[in-house]
Amino acid sequence: MKIAVGMSGGVDSSVTALLLKEAGHDVIGIFMKNWDEDDNIDSKTCPAVQDYEDALSVCQKLNIPLYSFNFSNEYWDQVFVGFLDDLKKGFTPNPDIFCNREIKFNVLMQKAFELGAEKLATGHYANVGPQYELVRGIDKNKDQSYFLFTLTSDILEKVLFPVGAYNKEDIRKIAERGGLLTYNKKDSTGICFIGKRKFKDFITTYMPPAKGVFQTPDGKVVGEHSGAWYYTIGQRKGMGIGGPGEAWFVIGKDISTQVVTVVQGEDNPLLLADSLLATDLSWVQSPPQTPYACTAKIRYRQDDQECLIEKIENGTAYIKFTHPQRAVTPRQAIVFYQGETCLGGGLILQKLV
């Protein structure tokens, strides 16, 4: 079978290509560039050149061709514009989810098929079930199903996730055994187009500072800031609010007035909610019949939380958790699971009081 591998220049995609090559498949590599940096930016902040060189080295080692495509325009139009729009509205978007849906498993997949591939393989830590379900990766610390919930079964039918059956440490050992220079390469973290820069430093290029205040729910001003969009629900660090008592946490923000509302105490009741609404729903196979008991995550590193999907009405899901959830954040993803299977998910609209 001819299989295209999305080569990122990291160890996971490198081993993906190695495993498929060793299994006897006709493997080709595809490298995609999704972001065009300003020439004045320090090249170390966006290591696309180094990533390409590493991907090329791996492909040469494996004796497979590497094709390179620039999807910067598509990324800008289909991911980044929406990311900025959400920030301007005061939301906290997750561009990785939309990059997977719009770029990797859409634009990149189309290129793979144009090159004659029958399937697209990536280095994601996830698995595809026998009925094209989305299943968690074996390594629970690296599982990436949370970021893949928008992939429907008809897409998963064309996808392979070879590293999903391994733990990360085993992947590095396989890479070293195979003589791949990426075997000890550090994992990339954060949002791809920001690189090693601080989020605030990057976003000021597109969203200039706007003076505002931190204030308590009863209207007491406790500090100043330079833009409400730089802060997210549940945030503790980076606000510069001193004074006596417990640490301060963000519980809300109003972009129109540039007011960021804060409270003291990690367990402050105003940080908690046991119900929420979710929209932009996407189901791997079909929507569940409600009411439906399952588990969910409202952030990537969170443990599974017991919940009930009470109803789905007009594209909106009503979710009630067994235990109150901390820092329910609009436009972050809520992803549903039944055991090891990812059912799908949506974007948080708002918490319910």
Catalytic residues: 99, 192
Distance between CA atoms of 122 and 117, rounded to whole angstroms? Answer: 13
* Phi, psi dihedral angles at 226 (to 5 degrees): -115, 20
Distance between CA atoms of 134 and 112, rounded to whole angstroms? Answer: 21
* Phi, psi dihedral angles at 337 (to 5 degrees): -135, 150
| Cα pseudo-dihedral 286, 288, 293, 295, rounded to 10 | 30
The secondary structure of 198-232 as a DSSP string is -HHHHHTTTS----EEEE-TTS-EEEEES-GGG--
Decide if 139 contacts 166 (C-beta within 8 A).
yes
Distance between CA atoms of 268 and 6, rounded to whole angstroms? Answer: 44
Tell me how crowded residue 294 is: count the other CB atoms within 10 A of its CB: 18
Residues forming beta bridges with residue 31, ordered by sequence position: 68
Distance between CA atoms of 28 and 16, rounded to whole angstroms? Answer: 11
Decide if 282 contacts 344 (C-beta within 8 A).
yes
Rg (CA), the chain: 22
For residue 224, the Cα-to-chain-centroid distance in whole angstroms is 30
Q: Which amino acid is at 14?
A: S
Q: Which amino acid is at 207?
A: M
Residue 276 host element (H or E): strand 272-283
Provide the angle, in degrees to the nearest 10, between the axes of the packed helices 48-62 and 11-22.
20
Distance between CA atoms of 336 and 100, rounded to whole angstroms? Answer: 18
Decide if 343 contacts 293 (C-beta within 8 A).
no
